[in-house]
Amino acid sequence: MVQTHTVKSFDEELRSLRALVSQMGGLAEYQIRMALDALMDRDIDGAAKVVTADAQIDALEQEAERLAVEIIALRHPLADDLREVISALKISAALERVGDYAKNIAKRSTVLSQARHIQPLAIVPEIGRIVAQMLKDALDAYGSRDTAKALKVRDRDMDVDDLYNSLFRSLLTYMMENPQAITPSTHLMFVAKNLERIGDLSTNMAEIVYYNVTGERMAGDRPKHDDTAFAQAPDASRE
């Protein structure tokens, strides 16, 4: 049974706040799709749309923060309600960052559009597909307060890290064999890093949703498989 507040407009305000966050989420999903399309189809106009959407997300984040602070100041929410407001603040901050990463991917797609055949590029749509699904699931979990779905998001983060590691190493080797492709390959590394970060942020959001619904932190250590900070191309190893 859902508990309703005595003051009707408090519920309305909370719903408005949730709606703002969901709207940001929808824009972020759109951005990622467009950025990946821009990258794979070398679509420069699509890249420009991602940049426009990012400005909208930034504006919505400011609006969400303003509303959250107003709710706190005027309604003095306690316990579950306060957790709800703080969660909305944190998720909107995470979505703002997702927007930044998508925008960066779109910008790099402009340089990458000049690079015809970087062979490891083929792994990118696979990472993009998983990451877009993670974001969607995190947002669905937020919308429906679904803890099972939130847990599922975190489990997928390991797949992203594994694919990212694999791509990073492939690109190191590829650059050594194709020095003329160093510039686009470097940009592709940053694209992959941005996607990996979007996966991380989706996992953060899922953790916030879980905490929001249950009042408990997700059990167990977060799986973390990104070890590219130590990565070397095979022929770069010493002794």
Q: Which residues ranging from 67 to 86 are in contact with its own copies (CB under 8 A)? A: 69, 72-73, 76, 78-79, 82-83, 86
Query: Residues near 203 by Cβ (< 8 Å), separated by ≥ 6?
Result: 134, 138, 153, 154, 157, 222
CB of 74 to its own copies, least distance (A): 9
CB of 233 to its own copies, least distance (A): 5
Region from 6-14, 136-144, 146-154, 184-192 binding its own copies, contact rule CB under 8 A: 184-192
CA distance 190 to 39: 13
x/- letters, 114..133, toward its own copies (CB under 8 A): x-------------------
CB neighbours of residue 110 within 10 Å:
15
Q: Is 187 in the site for its own copies (CB under 8 A)?
A: yes
Residues that bind its own copies (CB under 8 A): 65, 69, 72-73, 76, 78-79, 82-83, 86, 89-90, 93, 104, 107-108, 110-111, 114, 172, 175-176, 179-180, 182-184, 186-187, 189-190, 193, 229-233, 236, 238
